């Protein structure tokens, strides 16, 4: 099953926060999308890995993604090793996505930038003929390199290279984020408060999308960073 977009996140909830609206809008427009979580988020202050697995499954249903995988790398200690690269390469070759989305290139959580580098380098290596991988049935996979790799914006207010209008999908994005009840604001919770468990943080998800939307004169948007030149067929394709 080929995918149009495969979105990677260091932790369950990264993708929803960073590009959930873009994934939902793409699905509504007939694209096949998938999510890969690199870790189970087991070091999260609130909840545990099993709870987050259920939350991520519920979020996937809301966004309408075709597949969701968890590679079970070690939370907090993601590294750009050959072993981890092969795990990512195998999924890229399995689904042959046109576009890969990944974590922010620079962010508060060290796993985010490390995950971004891991995924970006794996996308390149996936296109090398002499790197041999096999699928779950032992069949040698075809080499594949995505057309583009883009990083979504997370905690830090980085300047986007482009933004995507998600006005029609903002409510689905918010619903998918709120599936992570163990992580985010809950007035009845007695657990330790974290920077992402405050009401201010959950409110910021919407007002950041509103601020990015303001830049292109729409209600809501998500921002992305690219390390490649964006090509268009005509100057009139630019909005």
- Closest to 153 measured CA to CA, from 166, 141, 144, 140: 166
What pLDDT score does 189 carry? 83
Structural domains present in the chain? 5-237 (3.40.50.10320)
What pLDDT digit, counting tens, does each position of 215-230 carry? 999 999 999 999 889 8
User: Can you point out the beta strands (E) in the chain?
Assistant: 5-9, 33-39, 67-73, 99-102, 148-152, 162-165, 221-226
What pLDDT score does 221 carry? 98
What pLDDT score does 160 carry? 97
Q: How do beta strands 221-226 and 5-9 pair? A: unpaired
Please give the structure tokens belonging to residue 161: 């290279």
Please give the structure tokens belonging to residue 185: 């604001």
3-state SS, residue 70: strand
CA pair distance 26, 78, nearest whole angstrom? 29
Q: What is the pTM of this model?
A: 0.96
Average pLDDT over residues 161-166: 97
What pLDDT digit, counting tens, does each position of 193-214 carry? 999 999 999 999 999 999 999 9
3-state SS, residue 79: coil
What pLDDT digit, counting tens, does each position of 31-55 carry? 999 999 999 999 999 999 999 999 9
């Amino acid at each position: 099953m080929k995918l149009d977009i495969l979105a990677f996140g260091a932790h369950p909830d990264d993708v929803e926060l960073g590009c959930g609206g873009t994934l939902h809008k793409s699905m509504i427009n007939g694209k096949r999308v998938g999510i890969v979580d690199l870790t189970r988020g087991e070091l999260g202050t609130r909840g545990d890995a099993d709870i987050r697995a259920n939350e991520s499954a519920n979020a996937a249903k809301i966004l309408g993604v075709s597949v969701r995988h968890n590679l079970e790398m070690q939370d907090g200690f993601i590294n750009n090793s050959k072993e981890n690269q092969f795990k990512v390469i195998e999924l890229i070759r399995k689904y042959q996505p046109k576009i890969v989305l990944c974590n922010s290139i620079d962010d508060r959580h060290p796993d985010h930038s490390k995950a971004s580098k891991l995924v970006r380098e794996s996308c390149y290596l996936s296109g090398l003929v002499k790197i041999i991988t096999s699928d779950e049935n032992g069949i040698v996979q075809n080499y594949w390199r995505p057309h583009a790799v883009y990083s979504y914006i997370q905690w830090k207010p980085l300047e986007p290279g482009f933004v995507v209008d998600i006005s029609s999908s903002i409510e689905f994005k918010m619903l998918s984020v709120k599936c992570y009840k163990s992580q985010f604001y809950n007035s009845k919770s007695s657990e330790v408060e974290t920077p992402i468990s405050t009401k201010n943080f959950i409110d910021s998800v919407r007002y950041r999308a509103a601020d990015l939307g303001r830049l292109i004169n729409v209600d809501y948007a998500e921002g992305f960073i690219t390390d490649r030149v964006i090509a268009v067929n005509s100057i009139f394709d630019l909005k």
